[in-house]
Every structure is written in structure tokens, then in C-alpha cells.
Amino acid sequence: MVNNLKEEVNVSQQEQIDNCLVFENLDFYFSENKPISNQSLEGLINKNNNLIQLVKIVYDNLIDMAPRNVVVLIADKKGILLEILKHGDGVNFLKFKKGMPLTLKKDNPVAIALKERKNVICKGIIWEGGQIHLNWINITLLINPMDPHGLVSVILPTSTYSSTLVNLLNLLSNFISLSILKNEDIAQTQLYYQQMFSSLAHEVKNILTTIRGFIQLLSKDEENPVKISYTNFIIKELDRAHETLKNSIFYTTSKEQRVNLCKVDDIILEILSNLNDLINRYNIKLNLQISTELPSITGDKTQFRQVFLNIIQNAIEAMNTSGTLTIKCYFHNHQIYTIIEDTGIGIPAKIKNKIFQPFFSTKYGGTGLGLSVVKQIVEQYKGQIFVKSHKNKGTSFTIILPVQ
């Protein structure tokens, strides 16, 4: 049974956590307010463009990583909706439109945040267009509560809520606020973010290496098969974390190339040799059409190996138990073409445009950095990468690298 609509919010009864007001079992509202005119909206968007771009940089990846059903609203400091970021179909009941004032209802989390100059967490019931939607949470964060530049309102199911998430969102909002206060442009902000993350990733990677070494020492004379299996599992997970950080560091740091002459055909054959056990285990047939007269290309062999290893390994895993892996490699018009085809399950059409985005992954435990790094390396050498895929028929990657 839903409680009667509240005439006012009793702030004195609220619990304050990490500079947030937390409202339990609140009936909160998003009424179908009329948007402002297109001309006024365009003016507000231009005025708040720095805010919108900074929020999108930070939150786009978080939304793609979210399990499902999340919406992020970006509004100006008066609560006028400027941008809507959605993930999942479960939030379609929220009939938001750009230019809509979000603050007319007094029990609206946005109105509470602006009035109290606090970040607000509302747990409870959404009233929207006269309909009731239970078990949703709204986290409204002011970008600089002392003198708001704007606000970010995140709506998500109760099941995905945690205090860790709130602290992370708070941290990101503070980061956006500092960036605006310092009048940094988007490129400078991205550079700062990359440097900060890279430094952190290096430190964590070193810690993981130390932990792995001690676990190996502890397991050296172990005879209990259960403890050995646990130890092997821990080492495997540490190696996966190490690989994740390695890819992250590559993605966020400037690239120092070890330039030398490389043979694409030799790199591919070496990879296939190393993956021979995996190919046999998955019962994969090889169809190699690799020219024996390919010219050398200039670049870092380690980076080229990372490109082809990632795509070939993905192709094998996409076929699971059987299939054919076809690799074609030839020289044409001063470029080396490499085509890697599998007969696996294919890539769903709705996510095909996202596979090169950083942190986007459909794999359990995946980081979403593999193909993003691949694309970055290929483009670093003035190359191109294309993908074609059909459901239950397979996927084809084409990599074109210029010969200089």
C-alpha cells in the first residue's frame, strides 16, 4: 500500500551521509511539465556546454558499464533539463524531455537538493504522469553546492544502489566541479584524468605483483588439493587483474614506440602457434590464406602482436566448441590487409557500434579495453579497422595497415 502523498519533507528526520540527505520511502515526483522554448533551450545548452561535455565524458562510460536500467539527467543550476543519458529499456516510463523544468514539485529530489544545497538520495516511489513506480532510487548531485554550476540526477533500480556507488558519484561530481572552476578545457580535463588514473594503475599493478609472488611462495610446498585449487584460482584472478591494468595503462598514457621492421605474417603465425592448445581444445579448423610476399611494416612489434592476438583470441572464444577460423593476409595499393573471420555467434546489431568504446564489454569479467586498445593502436599507425557481423553466422574484422 502506497503512503499518502506528503505535503512537505521533514528534513530534520533525515540522515546525513557523506554530505548527502537520505530520504527513505519517499514519494517523489516527475510531473509532465511543459518544456521551455527551443530558442531558450539552445541558449542554455550553449551557456552550459562545458558542464554537459564534462558530465558526458565521465558518465557515458559508467552508464555502459551499468547492468541495466539507468538514466542520468543533466540540468542547469535552476533545474532545467539539458541532456538525457539512458541505458536500458526499463527507464522508458520516465517521460523526460529536454528543456523540462525538473523543480516544480516540492517533493522532487532536484527541488530538495537546490533548496537545501545538499546532495540528495531518495529511496522509494516515483510518481510520474500519474503512475506509480516502486523501488527506484534518485541520486541528485549538485556540481559545487556552494554556487551550483548545474546538477546531475542519476535514477536507478534499488538493487543496483550502494554507498560505494554514491561515494564514487560524489567524487566524480567534485572532479567536474574543480574542472569548471579552473576553467580547464575538455582536452586538459581528459589529460588530467588520464594521468591520475595511470599513476593509480601503476601503483596497484605493483601491489598485485607482490601479492602474487607471496602466494606462490606459500603454495610451493602445499599438498592439500583443495588449497592448491584455491591458490591457482587466486593467481589466475591476479593475472586477469594485472592484464586489465596493463591495458588500462596503455590506454591512458602516451605511447613510446620501439620502432623496427615487422612482418605481419610472422606475427600471426607466431600467435597461432602459441594458441595451438586453445585451438585444439575448441576443435577449431584453420583456413590460412596468407601471402608469402608481404613487405615489412615499420612499428612496434609488441603493439602489432597485441592487435592480432586480441582479435584472434576473441574469434576462437566466439566459436566455443567448433568452427572455422579464416585468416587472409595480402598486400594491395601500398597497404597490408588482414581479414580475420570466425563462424561464431556474431555480434548483436544493437551493440556493434559500441565494441570499440573503452570499458564496454559483454564478457563476464571483461574490462572492455581490449578492442578499444586495438583500435587505438591501428589508428596510431594511420591504419583502419572495420567489422562485419551476422547473428549465428560469424564475425569478420578487417585491419588495414599502410606500408611506409
What's 212's DSSP letter?
Answer: H
**Averaged pLDDT, 142-148:** 84
Q: Mean pLDDT, the chain, as a whole number? A: 78
Angle at 303 between CA 300 and CA 305, to 5 degrees: 110
Cell of 277: 592448445
pLDDT for res 4: 34
Residue scoring higher pLDDT (219 or 61): 219
Predicted pLDDT at 67:
62
Most confident of 203-207, 265-269, 274-278, 316-320: 265-269
Q: Are strands 284-290 and 384-390 parallel, antiparallel or unpaired?
A: unpaired
Q: Do the beta carbons of residue 28 and residue 125 sit within 8 Å?
A: yes
**Does 237 or 141 have the greater pLDDT score?**
141
Q: What is each CA distance from 9 to 14, 275, 388, in whole angstroms?
A: 9, 62, 54
- DSSP, collapsed to helix, strand or coil, labels residue 119 as strand
- Predicted confidence band at 138 (pLDDT cuts at 50, 70, 90)? confident
Mean pLDDT confidence for 345-354:
80
- If you average pLDDT over residues 342-361, what whole number do you get? 77
What is the share, in percent, of the chain residues with pLDDT greater than 90?
Answer: 18
Q: Which of 167, 152, 171, 74 is nearest to 113 (CA)?
A: 152
Most confident of the ranges 164-178, 201-215, 294-308? 294-308
DSSP character for 34? P
